[in-house]
Amino acid sequence: MDESSPAPRKPLLLHRCEQIQLHSHRARLAGKTVGLVATMGALHEGHLSLVEASQHECEVTIVSIFVNPTQFAAHEDLNKYPRTLDSDLEKLSPYQVDAVFAPSAEEMYPPGFSTYIQPPACANRWEGEFRPDHFRGVCTVVLKLFNVTQADVAYFGQKDYQQALVLRRMTEDLNVPVRIQVCPIIRDADGLALSSRNAFLSPEERTQALALSRSLEQAELRVSQGEQDPAVILQLMQTTLQTAGIDQIDYLTLANPETLEPATDLHQPVVAAIACRIGNTRLIDNRLLGQPAAEPPASE
Protein backbone atom coordinates (compact mmCIF):
# COMPACT_ATOMS: atom_id res chain seq x y z
CA MET A 1 0.00 0.00 0.00
CA ASP A 2 1.12 3.59 -0.59
CA GLU A 3 1.13 6.25 2.14
CA SER A 4 -2.32 7.51 1.13
CA SER A 5 -3.93 4.09 1.56
CA PRO A 6 -6.12 3.50 4.61
CA ALA A 7 -4.52 1.66 7.50
CA PRO A 8 -5.07 -2.10 7.35
CA ARG A 9 -8.05 -3.34 9.34
CA LYS A 10 -9.65 -6.72 9.71
CA PRO A 11 -13.04 -6.88 7.99
CA LEU A 12 -16.31 -7.38 9.80
CA LEU A 13 -16.66 -11.12 10.42
CA LEU A 14 -20.17 -12.59 10.19
CA HIS A 15 -21.20 -16.21 10.69
CA ARG A 16 -25.00 -16.22 10.37
CA CYS A 17 -27.10 -15.93 7.22
CA GLU A 18 -29.38 -13.32 8.76
CA GLN A 19 -26.35 -11.20 9.69
CA ILE A 20 -24.98 -11.01 6.15
CA GLN A 21 -28.48 -10.52 4.75
CA LEU A 22 -28.99 -7.50 7.00
CA HIS A 23 -25.55 -6.12 6.17
CA SER A 24 -26.20 -6.39 2.43
CA HIS A 25 -29.76 -5.11 2.74
CA ARG A 26 -28.52 -1.92 4.39
CA ALA A 27 -25.94 -1.43 1.65
CA ARG A 28 -28.57 -1.89 -1.04
CA LEU A 29 -30.94 0.54 0.70
CA ALA A 30 -28.12 3.09 0.62
CA GLY A 31 -27.91 2.62 -3.15
CA LYS A 32 -24.56 0.82 -3.07
CA THR A 33 -23.52 -1.96 -5.43
CA VAL A 34 -22.46 -5.21 -3.77
CA GLY A 35 -19.69 -7.48 -5.05
CA LEU A 36 -19.17 -11.05 -3.87
CA VAL A 37 -15.96 -13.05 -3.90
CA ALA A 38 -16.91 -16.62 -3.00
CA THR A 39 -13.98 -18.70 -1.69
CA MET A 40 -13.19 -21.78 0.35
CA GLY A 41 -10.44 -19.92 2.20
CA ALA A 42 -6.70 -20.61 2.16
CA LEU A 43 -6.51 -17.32 0.29
CA HIS A 44 -3.74 -16.54 -2.19
CA GLU A 45 -3.01 -13.82 -4.74
CA GLY A 46 -5.57 -15.29 -7.13
CA HIS A 47 -8.35 -14.72 -4.61
CA LEU A 48 -7.01 -11.28 -3.75
CA SER A 49 -7.07 -10.29 -7.43
CA LEU A 50 -10.82 -11.02 -7.37
CA VAL A 51 -11.18 -8.80 -4.30
CA GLU A 52 -9.38 -6.01 -6.15
CA ALA A 53 -11.66 -6.46 -9.16
CA SER A 54 -14.73 -6.19 -6.93
CA GLN A 55 -13.44 -3.09 -5.18
CA HIS A 56 -12.68 -1.45 -8.50
CA GLU A 57 -16.26 -1.91 -9.65
CA CYS A 58 -18.46 -2.17 -6.54
CA GLU A 59 -18.94 0.04 -3.52
CA VAL A 60 -19.28 -2.89 -1.10
CA THR A 61 -17.20 -6.07 -1.26
CA ILE A 62 -18.12 -9.25 0.61
CA VAL A 63 -15.80 -12.25 0.76
CA SER A 64 -17.31 -15.59 1.70
CA ILE A 65 -15.11 -18.28 3.24
CA PHE A 66 -16.76 -21.67 3.39
CA VAL A 67 -15.38 -25.13 2.70
CA ASN A 68 -18.50 -26.55 1.12
CA PRO A 69 -18.94 -30.23 2.02
CA THR A 70 -21.57 -30.93 -0.66
CA GLN A 71 -19.10 -30.42 -3.52
CA PHE A 72 -16.68 -33.06 -2.24
CA ALA A 73 -17.07 -36.78 -2.90
CA ALA A 74 -16.52 -39.25 -0.06
CA HIS A 75 -13.00 -40.12 -1.29
CA GLU A 76 -11.88 -36.50 -1.82
CA ASP A 77 -9.88 -34.12 0.35
CA LEU A 78 -12.61 -32.38 2.38
CA ASN A 79 -11.05 -33.20 5.75
CA LYS A 80 -7.55 -32.10 4.79
CA TYR A 81 -8.58 -29.01 2.83
CA PRO A 82 -6.76 -26.11 4.55
CA ARG A 83 -8.83 -24.03 6.97
CA THR A 84 -6.93 -20.84 7.74
CA LEU A 85 -9.52 -18.24 8.76
CA ASP A 86 -7.22 -16.13 10.96
CA SER A 87 -4.57 -16.01 8.24
CA ASP A 88 -7.21 -15.23 5.62
CA LEU A 89 -8.50 -12.28 7.64
CA GLU A 90 -4.95 -10.95 7.94
CA LYS A 91 -4.48 -11.22 4.17
CA LEU A 92 -7.72 -9.32 3.61
CA SER A 93 -6.95 -6.55 6.10
CA PRO A 94 -5.11 -4.25 3.63
CA TYR A 95 -8.02 -4.44 1.18
CA GLN A 96 -10.70 -2.72 3.26
CA VAL A 97 -13.17 -5.54 2.61
CA ASP A 98 -16.57 -4.65 4.04
CA ALA A 99 -17.49 -8.06 5.43
CA VAL A 100 -16.37 -11.67 5.53
CA PHE A 101 -19.11 -14.27 5.68
CA ALA A 102 -17.73 -17.46 7.24
CA PRO A 103 -20.65 -19.74 8.08
CA SER A 104 -20.50 -23.21 9.57
CA ALA A 105 -21.70 -26.24 7.64
CA GLU A 106 -24.68 -26.38 10.01
CA GLU A 107 -25.56 -22.79 9.16
CA MET A 108 -25.60 -23.47 5.43
CA TYR A 109 -27.13 -26.94 5.67
CA PRO A 110 -29.33 -27.05 8.78
CA PRO A 111 -31.14 -30.22 9.87
CA GLY A 112 -33.77 -31.17 7.33
CA PHE A 113 -32.06 -29.41 4.42
CA SER A 114 -33.05 -31.27 1.26
CA THR A 115 -33.19 -28.84 -1.69
CA TYR A 116 -30.42 -28.99 -4.29
CA ILE A 117 -29.85 -27.39 -7.68
CA GLN A 118 -29.74 -29.62 -10.76
CA PRO A 119 -26.75 -28.26 -12.72
CA PRO A 120 -27.00 -27.35 -16.42
CA ALA A 121 -25.83 -29.66 -19.20
CA CYS A 122 -22.36 -28.10 -19.43
CA ALA A 123 -21.67 -29.53 -15.95
CA ASN A 124 -21.80 -33.10 -17.27
CA ARG A 125 -18.44 -32.96 -19.05
CA TRP A 126 -14.94 -32.59 -17.61
CA GLU A 127 -15.37 -32.38 -13.84
CA GLY A 128 -18.83 -33.90 -14.09
CA GLU A 129 -17.40 -37.13 -15.48
CA PHE A 130 -14.96 -37.60 -12.61
CA ARG A 131 -16.82 -35.81 -9.79
CA PRO A 132 -20.50 -36.57 -10.52
CA ASP A 133 -22.09 -34.54 -7.69
CA HIS A 134 -19.53 -31.76 -7.61
CA PHE A 135 -21.53 -29.12 -9.47
CA ARG A 136 -24.72 -30.06 -7.67
CA GLY A 137 -22.98 -28.92 -4.51
CA VAL A 138 -21.36 -25.90 -6.15
CA CYS A 139 -24.59 -24.60 -7.69
CA THR A 140 -26.53 -25.09 -4.48
CA VAL A 141 -24.08 -23.31 -2.21
CA VAL A 142 -23.41 -20.48 -4.67
CA LEU A 143 -27.11 -19.82 -5.16
CA LYS A 144 -27.49 -19.68 -1.37
CA LEU A 145 -24.59 -17.21 -1.22
CA PHE A 146 -26.20 -15.09 -3.94
CA ASN A 147 -29.43 -15.06 -1.96
CA VAL A 148 -27.96 -14.10 1.40
CA THR A 149 -25.49 -11.51 0.08
CA GLN A 150 -27.85 -10.01 -2.53
CA ALA A 151 -24.78 -9.42 -4.68
CA ASP A 152 -24.95 -7.41 -7.89
CA VAL A 153 -21.73 -8.92 -9.25
CA ALA A 154 -19.92 -12.15 -8.34
CA TYR A 155 -16.25 -12.60 -9.18
CA PHE A 156 -14.70 -15.93 -10.14
CA GLY A 157 -11.33 -16.95 -11.57
CA GLN A 158 -10.82 -18.37 -15.05
CA LYS A 159 -8.83 -21.24 -13.53
CA ASP A 160 -12.20 -22.79 -12.66
CA TYR A 161 -13.39 -22.26 -16.23
CA GLN A 162 -16.14 -24.86 -16.19
CA GLN A 163 -17.44 -23.61 -12.85
CA ALA A 164 -17.79 -20.09 -14.24
CA LEU A 165 -19.64 -21.41 -17.28
CA VAL A 166 -21.97 -23.52 -15.13
CA LEU A 167 -22.75 -20.64 -12.76
CA ARG A 168 -23.37 -18.20 -15.59
CA ARG A 169 -25.79 -20.67 -17.18
CA MET A 170 -27.52 -21.19 -13.82
CA THR A 171 -28.03 -17.47 -13.24
CA GLU A 172 -29.40 -17.00 -16.75
CA ASP A 173 -31.73 -19.99 -16.59
CA LEU A 174 -33.08 -19.11 -13.13
CA ASN A 175 -33.20 -15.33 -13.68
CA VAL A 176 -30.85 -14.67 -10.79
CA PRO A 177 -30.01 -10.93 -10.85
CA VAL A 178 -26.26 -11.44 -10.45
CA ARG A 179 -23.63 -10.76 -13.10
CA ILE A 180 -20.86 -13.35 -13.24
CA GLN A 181 -17.52 -11.62 -13.81
CA VAL A 182 -14.62 -13.92 -14.67
CA CYS A 183 -11.09 -12.69 -14.00
CA PRO A 184 -7.77 -13.89 -15.45
CA ILE A 185 -5.78 -16.76 -13.98
CA ILE A 186 -3.05 -15.58 -11.62
CA ARG A 187 0.20 -17.52 -11.94
CA ASP A 188 3.49 -17.72 -10.11
CA ALA A 189 6.48 -16.35 -11.99
CA ASP A 190 7.27 -19.85 -13.28
CA GLY A 191 3.77 -20.27 -14.74
CA LEU A 192 2.07 -22.47 -12.14
CA ALA A 193 -1.57 -21.43 -11.70
CA LEU A 194 -2.21 -20.39 -8.11
CA SER A 195 -4.33 -22.85 -6.16
CA SER A 196 -4.93 -23.55 -2.49
CA ARG A 197 -4.08 -27.17 -3.26
CA ASN A 198 -0.55 -26.23 -4.35
CA ALA A 199 0.31 -26.31 -0.63
CA PHE A 200 -0.04 -30.10 -0.76
CA LEU A 201 2.74 -30.45 -3.37
CA SER A 202 6.24 -31.49 -2.39
CA PRO A 203 9.08 -29.49 -4.02
CA GLU A 204 9.54 -32.29 -6.56
CA GLU A 205 5.81 -32.46 -7.30
CA ARG A 206 5.65 -28.70 -7.72
CA THR A 207 8.37 -28.92 -10.37
CA GLN A 208 6.34 -31.62 -12.10
CA ALA A 209 3.25 -29.41 -11.98
CA LEU A 210 4.92 -26.81 -14.19
CA ALA A 211 4.22 -29.16 -17.09
CA LEU A 212 0.55 -28.12 -17.01
CA SER A 213 1.18 -24.49 -17.94
CA ARG A 214 4.03 -25.52 -20.24
CA SER A 215 1.77 -27.85 -22.22
CA LEU A 216 -0.83 -25.08 -22.55
CA GLU A 217 1.80 -22.61 -23.73
CA GLN A 218 3.02 -25.11 -26.33
CA ALA A 219 -0.55 -25.66 -27.52
CA GLU A 220 -1.07 -21.92 -27.85
CA LEU A 221 2.14 -21.58 -29.85
CA ARG A 222 1.27 -24.39 -32.27
CA VAL A 223 -2.23 -23.01 -32.84
CA SER A 224 -0.78 -19.53 -33.47
CA GLN A 225 1.54 -21.13 -36.04
CA GLY A 226 -1.46 -22.48 -37.93
CA GLU A 227 -1.98 -26.03 -36.66
CA GLN A 228 -5.64 -26.96 -37.22
CA ASP A 229 -5.79 -30.59 -36.09
CA PRO A 230 -6.94 -31.01 -32.46
CA ALA A 231 -5.36 -34.49 -32.31
CA VAL A 232 -1.93 -33.02 -33.01
CA ILE A 233 -2.30 -30.45 -30.23
CA LEU A 234 -3.62 -33.00 -27.74
CA GLN A 235 -0.76 -35.38 -28.49
CA LEU A 236 1.73 -32.56 -27.97
CA MET A 237 0.17 -31.69 -24.61
CA GLN A 238 0.00 -35.30 -23.48
CA THR A 239 3.65 -35.87 -24.38
CA THR A 240 4.65 -32.81 -22.36
CA LEU A 241 2.77 -34.06 -19.31
CA GLN A 242 4.05 -37.61 -19.58
CA THR A 243 7.63 -36.45 -20.09
CA ALA A 244 7.30 -34.73 -16.71
CA GLY A 245 6.13 -37.99 -15.18
CA ILE A 246 2.44 -37.08 -15.06
CA ASP A 247 0.41 -40.10 -16.10
CA GLN A 248 -2.70 -39.76 -13.93
CA ILE A 249 -4.67 -37.56 -16.34
CA ASP A 250 -8.40 -37.23 -15.68
CA TYR A 251 -9.01 -35.21 -18.82
CA LEU A 252 -7.03 -33.41 -21.47
CA THR A 253 -9.26 -31.67 -23.98
CA LEU A 254 -9.82 -28.98 -26.58
CA ALA A 255 -13.41 -27.84 -26.48
CA ASN A 256 -15.98 -25.31 -27.59
CA PRO A 257 -15.69 -22.44 -25.07
CA GLU A 258 -19.47 -22.23 -24.54
CA THR A 259 -20.69 -25.83 -24.69
CA LEU A 260 -17.49 -27.71 -23.74
CA GLU A 261 -18.16 -30.14 -26.59
CA PRO A 262 -14.89 -31.55 -27.99
CA ALA A 263 -13.45 -29.45 -30.80
CA THR A 264 -13.38 -31.09 -34.22
CA ASP A 265 -11.12 -28.43 -35.73
CA LEU A 266 -9.31 -25.28 -34.67
CA HIS A 267 -10.83 -22.82 -37.13
CA GLN A 268 -12.78 -21.30 -34.22
CA PRO A 269 -11.55 -20.40 -30.71
CA VAL A 270 -11.30 -23.30 -28.26
CA VAL A 271 -10.50 -23.79 -24.60
CA ALA A 272 -7.70 -26.19 -23.73
CA ALA A 273 -8.19 -27.80 -20.32
CA ILE A 274 -6.29 -30.23 -18.12
CA ALA A 275 -7.09 -32.10 -14.92
CA CYS A 276 -4.47 -34.44 -13.53
CA ARG A 277 -3.11 -35.89 -10.34
CA ILE A 278 0.41 -35.38 -9.08
CA GLY A 279 0.94 -37.60 -6.11
CA ASN A 280 -2.22 -37.20 -4.04
CA THR A 281 -3.00 -33.71 -5.34
CA ARG A 282 -5.45 -33.00 -8.15
CA LEU A 283 -4.69 -29.91 -10.24
CA ILE A 284 -6.53 -28.17 -13.07
CA ASP A 285 -5.50 -25.53 -15.58
CA ASN A 286 -6.76 -24.10 -18.86
CA ARG A 287 -6.09 -21.60 -21.59
CA LEU A 288 -8.20 -20.03 -24.30
CA LEU A 289 -6.69 -20.61 -27.73
CA GLY A 290 -7.37 -18.51 -30.79
CA GLN A 291 -9.01 -15.57 -29.00
CA PRO A 292 -7.84 -12.82 -26.65
CA ALA A 293 -10.80 -13.07 -24.24
CA ALA A 294 -10.00 -13.58 -20.55
CA GLU A 295 -13.24 -15.27 -19.61
CA PRO A 296 -15.86 -17.73 -20.77
CA PRO A 297 -18.11 -16.01 -23.32
CA ALA A 298 -21.65 -15.28 -22.20
CA SER A 299 -24.33 -17.65 -23.42
CA GLU A 300 -27.06 -16.03 -25.47
- Farthest CA pair distance, the chain: 57
| pLDDT tens digits, 150-190 | 999 999 999 999 999 999 999 999 999 999 999 999 999 99
**3-class secondary structure, 122:** helix
Please tell me which residue in 47, 75, 134, 267 is annotated as part of the active site. Answer: 47
Least Cα distance to 225 among 266, 264, 185 occurs for 266
Domain boundaries, the chain: 12-183, 196-289
Task: Please give the average per-residue pLDDT across 7-27, as a whole number.
Answer: 94
Residue 157 assigned as binding residue: yes
Residue 47 assigned as binding residue: yes
Residue 55 assigned as binding residue: no
| pLDDT tens digits, 49-105 | 999 999 999 999 999 999 999 999 888 889 989 999 999 999 999 998 999 999 999
Q: Which residues contact 242 (CB under 8 A, 6 or more apart)?
A: none
| pLDDT tens digits, 254-282 | 999 999 999 999 999 999 999 999 999 99
Q: How confident is the model at residue 294 (pLDDT cuts 50, 70, 90)?
A: very low
What pLDDT shows up at residue 8? 75
Three-class HEC string of 235-248:
HHHHHHHHHCCCCE
What pLDDT shows up at residue 299? 42
- The answer to whether domain 196-289 has CATH 1.10.10.60 is no
Residue 134 assigned as binding residue: no
What pLDDT shows up at residue 300? 38
Q: Is the pLDDT of residue 293 over 50?
A: no
Least Cα distance to 231 among 243, 219, 240, 245 occurs for 219
How far is 29 from 54, CA to CA, in rounded Å? 19
Q: Is the pLDDT of residue 297 over 60?
A: no
Q: What percent of the chain has pLDDT over 70?
A: 94
What pLDDT shows up at residue 80? 87
What pLDDT shows up at residue 6? 64
**Dihedral pair phi/psi, residue 103, rounded to 5°:** -80, 160
| pLDDT tens digits, 18-40 | 999 999 999 999 999 999 999 99
Q: Is the pLDDT of residue 2 over 80?
A: no
How far is 114 from 109, CA to CA, in rounded Å? 9
What pLDDT shows up at residue 296? 54
Torsion of CA 43, 46, 48, 52, to 10 degrees: -160
Rounded (10°) angle between helices 161-173 and 134-149:
60
Q: Is 75 a catalytic residue?
A: no
Residue 160 assigned as binding residue: yes
266, 280 contact by CB (below 8 A): no
Confirm whether pTM is higher than 0.95: no
How far is 190 from 59, CA to CA, in rounded Å? 34
DSSP structure class, residue 187: B
DSSP structure class, residue 133: T
Residue 238 assigned as binding residue: no
The CATH number of domain 12-183, selected from 3.40.50.620, 3.40.190.10, 1.10.760.10, 3.10.129.10: 3.40.50.620
What pLDDT shows up at residue 37? 99
Output 265-271 pairs: Cβ under 8 A, ≥24 positions apart. 265/228, 265/229, 265/230, 266/223, 266/227, 266/228, 266/229, 266/230, 266/233, 266/290, 267/228, 269/293, 270/230, 271/161, 271/296
| pLDDT tens digits, 188-218 | 999 999 999 999 999 999 999 999 999 999 9
Residue 197 assigned as binding residue: yes
What pLDDT shows up at residue 176? 98
Q: Is the pLDDT of residue 9 over 90?
A: no
> What is the rounded average pLDDT for all residues in the chain?
95
Q: Is the pLDDT of residue 248 over 80?
A: yes
Distances (CA, A) of 79 to 42, 69, 86, 90, 238: 14, 9, 18, 23, 31
Least Cα distance to 166 among 115, 126, 121, 134 occurs for 121
